[in-house]
Structure 1
Amino acid sequence: MASEQLGRCGHSTVRVYDKILLWGGRGFDSDKVCVHDLTKRVWTYLHTTGEIPPRLSGSCCSLVDGNLLIFGGFVEDVRVNSMYSLDLSVYVWSKIIPSSNIPSPRDKFGAWVYDQEVIYFGGYGSSPTSENVREGEFVPNYEEIGPGLCGWNNDLLSFDTISKTWRPLPHSVTLTPLPRAAHQCVKISSTEGVLFGGRHKNRRMNDLYTLSLSTSTWCHINLLGDLPEGRSFHSLTVLDSANIFVYGGYNTDSQVLGDAWVINTCLQQCHEILYERNATGRMWHTACRGLYDGEVLILGGCGYFPVIYDRVKYFRLAPLPLKQIALEAIGHHRESCGTWNDMPNEIQNDIRRKLEETEN
């Protein structure tokens, strides 16, 4: 697959074992599922059938029991509140019809998976009606021109994937984050989620919250020292049980950012990762952990419209394992590496795979 076919922004990604699945967004073939093999570093298309979703951007993608769940998003100037599921055992899409009232249409929100539920927070979309499931504040955007009134919300909602029902999750008025969109949500443990940044009205924020997924209790974390500036359309990646990685985004001064930060949620500290970078940054991209500790892949995204990126950007925040360093050396200097026939079979197989990878 040519790299220019992967150029997209506003897409969704999930990691499944040693593969990354990428779907949706704005760009080439965004209605198709792309698969990145982390071991071979090659991209392929996944052939799917069934009720294939439209080319949604700004939707939420969650992995629950071998199913890829897509909710909400933006397509052809319309925000939606539909939900689709891709069964990864047979690669068949189906549209989910909930057995309860549903949230109002929205995009650019966040989600966490907790047991058999998906918990959604915030977003930007249509003004809710009395028939919509909601739990939070709606802040209208009177500056937007178009049909219907849209705005930001801080709804905290749960979708039960077994009963196919929606329910609101009441949360504290004093601790609840402001309504926002284009924020990022990740899990740092099986029962704790993290929220960082996003846009509220005309302001991009740099606040950090944790959410107990079992009790729906928020906690605002006051970070110490230098802080990342407020941003939306950034990425957030879990490095371990305490550290999360922030990259890029869009600030209040309408600048596309290219800075990188590590936030320690236990010590409540953060520090900037200094690296050699060009003048451009990325926004509305996604990020996933790589095969090794401290490795993060930045996928897609855009600069100043209509520039859309198609190259994967790698961050290595820790040294590669010694074995991998040796394999990389063999792959790049095959002719000078001598023989390895007396090595254990497992090592020989790893070397053959690395040589095949470099030949391709």
Structure 2
Amino acid sequence: MAAPSRSDHVAVLLGNVLHVWGGLQYMDGEEVVLPSDEIWLYDLESGVWLIYFGGYGWKTVREISNYKSFTVDETSWVTNGRVFFRYWGWNNEVHVFEPDTATWTEPQTQGQPPKPRASHASATLGSKGYICGGLETQTIDIHCLDLVTWTWTQIEPLAPPLPMGRSLHTLTPTSHNTLFLFGGLSISGQVLCDGWEFDTVKREWREKPHRHKDKPRVWHSAVQGKDNDVVVYGGSRDYVLVMDTIAVLRSPSQSHCGDVLVFQSQPYSLTR
């Protein structure tokens, strides 16, 4: 059985198994879609967790009253045809998916979690996960979750410069202690093409020169490649999105991209 077409989802490759979760689901070529909470698996294997943070979705009134980690989007609440309401908004929850048992759990975290958000970027270095951006702020924030103790800490950079605040960007490991940030959407609505490296030990941001300054991106994907290159695929050069109280309408005029961008993070060997 094939998974329905979708975009803006999360995809993770664990061994030989592809896990696809969430996103905007398109049925029968329709342009009007709703966010999906489905997860699709291929050739399931055990031994690795998938960890998800935050996002945009809905809760009932009862669920919101019992939660302090959900910010209601007051412009986007709707009824679901019954006596209670579904409120849309942002959360800062952590959920873990165990492929071996196909079950979800919500670990009890410690420390001060990031503010509820969506369209943020995330990456993992060893036993620590990092959350970056996704809020309408002048400068970007970065938070660390220890995946052994499940403790949150906010990382305060020691000195400027700092990247501007953004969403719909990517964050990719380039070494055991560095992360590469690329693109995204600024709080003024500008599609960005700058690249930044964050040193998690020195707690410093450094803007990285690159040869793709003429290729701004949002909604793209990025992975760590050979010799710690960052490989970016797809996305859009423009941001055109209309949201109403029931469905998400994606404009067909968006400038989707099919090219691959490679960012070099270190000198290559003579062999390469």
With normalisation by structure 2, the TM-score equals 0.81
Distance 1:62 1:129 in 2: 32
Give the 3-state SS of the residue equivalent to 2:108 in structure 1: coil
Change (3 A) 1:213 1:317: same
Q: CA shift at 1:315, angstroms? A: 1.2
Q: Which has the higher helix share?
A: 1
1:172-200 per-position Cα deviation (integer Å, ceiling 9, x unaligned): 3x5100001011111110x211111113x
The reply to whether residue 236 of structure 1 matches residue 171 of structure 2 is yes
Q: Determine which of 271, 279, 296 is the counterpart of 2:230.
A: 296
Q: 1:238 to 1:136 in 2, by over 3 A?
A: farther
C-alpha displacement at 1:158, in angstroms? 1.6
Whether 2:15 is the aligned partner of 1:81: answer no
Which residue does the alignment assign to 1:93?
none
208 and 160 in structure 1: CA distance in 2 versus 1, 3 angstrom threshold: same
Query: Which structure's CA Rg is the greater one?
Result: 1
1:116 corresponds, among 48, 53, 73, to: 48
Q: 1:322 to 1:257 in 2, by over 3 A?
A: same
Shift of the alpha carbon at 1:288? 1.5
Render the CA deviation track for 1:198-233: whole Å, top value 9, x for unaligned.
13xx55761111111122111111012211111111
Change (3 A) 1:161 1:205: farther
Change (3 A) 1:234 1:278: same
**Structure 2, gaps ≥5 residues long:** 27-32, 80-85, 241-253
Percent of aligned positions that are identical = 29
Deviations 1:296-327 (A, max 9, x none): 11111112141111111111122221012xxx
For the structure 1 residues 210 and 115, does the alpha-carbon distance in structure 2 shift closer, same or farther, using more than 3 Å as the test?
Answer: farther
Secondary structure of residue in 1 paired with 2:141: strand
Inter-CA distance 186–67: structure 2 relative to 1 (3 Å threshold): same
Of 75-84 and 250-259, the range deviating more from structure 2: 75-84
Distance 1:244 1:176, change over 3 A: same
- The RMSD of aligned alpha carbons is 2.6
Query: Match for 2:187: what amino acid?
Result: T
What is the match of residue 269 of structure 1? 204
TM-score (normalised: structure 1)? 0.62
User: Mind listing any 5+ residue stretches in structure 1 that lack a counterpart?
Assistant: 1-50, 90-113, 325-360
CA distance in 1, matches of 2:2, 2:138: 34
Q: Please tell me whether the aligned partners of residues 44 and 100 of structure 2 are also in contact (alpha carbons under 8 angstroms).
A: no
CA contact (8 A) 1:251 1:257 kept: yes
